[in-house]
Structure 1
């Protein structure tokens, strides 16, 4: 019996706990055979306690490697030259990547065979194995992080009197049949790797920051925090109809809620970037990564068509009554602006989807600003105006025109373009 180490053969003089790394490496690569009781040079030295070693290997397979690899291994007791040795045959597993349960789905826990050694797999290699085994569905793929907690989700479930047991976690797709957390589980866990980046800008562009924050944690925590943050900045304006006072928000609350839910439930989480929320003086923008599902046009979505990218996530949100029915979000947003002079916009480009909610009061002029209306009406006929246009239209002197334009700039009603004799003004 001539033995030598190769890409598919590993020789061990004695049993050590490290043998589990070799088992994982062979199961993750092309399979192989491990002989215990054989020196590196191929000389058979035998084992005095072969039965005990077989039991140790069997226990190690059961307790130290995940998913269960035992069905892809065969342990045999051989006798050569009146000496006992163990032959452990490992086949390539069908649920790769296999990993050391105490290390997890990361390079320190996942090994592959490289030449005559077992080496840690890179994170890219781990992701590739997961994709090859679990398919293209991000939700169903095994999570690279297995140390997960579900405080936020549990609270949300309790609030709705919904059960949150291990059986339920499997039904929801949070846990696989092998008791391994999926990416769906990662998204709704407290350890979720994605976030929402929220920024408030002064004016209509990104020149001046007023506030910025990053919202992290479970998607449910992010949804709650994002809604509260927007609500804080969502101004209220009192209006009077037949002497009855009505308080109206800058952004209809239902439109904000639907736009947030749309961004969180339907974005592509295989992208690592954050969901973006930008608040300007005249609009709220929510940008989610991934764009529409391939084959679904913006026109079809506007008509109410729906094809969700994250079926399990959408199902959980539906179960928790956060979304009422699939494909109704955009129509609800549109209905919130019915009859208003400003309307929401929806843009789909490769890799991103943007919802723009206009400030319902941004077009209105307050009583104290009514004196600027004659100047603002100049923009109905031309895109930009000069100081001399103001003097001529209003029949006023240079100093008064300069002061009026300065006040309008301070109130962010208009914006200055150019300088010196080339100074022009445009509507913000």
Structure 2
């Protein structure tokens, strides 16, 4: 599908889990970064800037052409892990618009400003701890847990691994990591 076809289909359906309209360019990075982080956490999506919530084309002034690189910089600097996006400026029905395609994420959760975001219906919001746990568990298999248990049982007590969390590195022993996971996600005992 072309960007125009995606826009037309999105206008027919309106905002939802994978579609967001912004009438104006965001004044602050958070106004767009939380949408991108939430969409990457869920199943990806499409953001159109220059379209109001009622799907009317309002357009953007030409002097905002440089905002494409500004948005790309915000994403690479402020969202962790960095999601993959395609961002471009295009013209439709005589209106200048910005299109952002957020590819489905390859990580369970994406963080903006150190906080996890999810998309529920047509709203992007902070993820609750149980939502983060559910998303994390969707990426963890029984084999992963079995491997971790095996490593904890055969690794010397002073061995450490690095764990990447919301943009940070933590060093801990395998047995500590396994215990921490069991405490944070009791469902792991069932896997």
What TM-score, normalized to structure 1? 0.33
Distance 1:96 1:270 in 2: 15
- Tell me: CA distance 1:11–1:175, structure 2 relative to 1, closer, same or farther (3 Å): same
Q: Is 1:24 matched up with 2:37?
A: yes
Matched, 1:173 2:161: yes
Cα shift readout 1:383-426 (whole Å, capped 9, x = no counterpart): xxxxxxxxxxxxxxxxxxxxxxxxxxxxxxxxxxxxxxxxxxxx
Q: How far apart, in 1, do the equivalents of 2:168 and 2:135 lie? A: 15
Q: Deviations over 1:280-310 (max 9, x none)?
A: xxxxxxxxxxxxxx9xxxxxxxxxxxxxxxx
1:114 maps to what in 2? Answer: 120
Stretches of structure 1 that go unaligned for 5 or more consecutive residues are 141-156, 158-170, 189-263, 274-293, 295-428
Matching residue of 2:181: 270
Partner of 2:69 in structure 1? 55
With structure 2 as the length reference, what TM-score do the two structures score?
0.70
SS of 1:272's equivalent? Answer: helix
- Whether contact under 8 Å (1:175, 1:181) holds in the other structure is yes
Tell me if 1:131 matches 2:131.
no
Greater per-residue helix proportion = 2
Q: 2:89 aligns to what?
A: 77
| Contact 1:50–1:85 (8 Å) recurs in 2 | no
1:333-358 deviations in Å (ceiling 9; x for gaps): xxxxxxxxxxxxxxxxxxxxxxxxxx
Counterpart in the other structure of 1:64: 78
Answer with 15-24 or 46-55: which moved more. 46-55
Alpha-carbon RMSD across the aligned residues, in angstroms, is 3.3
Q: What is the count of residue pairs matched by the alignment?
A: 159
Question: What are the within-5 Å matches in structure 2 for residues 24-423 of structure 1?
Answer: 24-48=37-61, 49-69=63-83, 72-100=84-112, 102=113, 104=114, 109-133=115-139, 135=141, 136-137=144-145, 172-176=160-164, 180-181=168-169, 185=171, 187=172, 268-272=179-183
Q: Return 5+ residue gaps in structure 2 as ranges.
A: 1-6, 149-157
CA shift for structure 1 position 268:
3.4
CA distance in 2, matches of 1:11, 1:265: 44
For 2:176 and 2:120, the matched residues in 1 are separated by: 41
When Rg is computed on C-alpha atoms for both structures, the one with the higher figure is: 1
For CA contacts below 8 A with separation 6 or more, give which structure has more relative contact order: 2
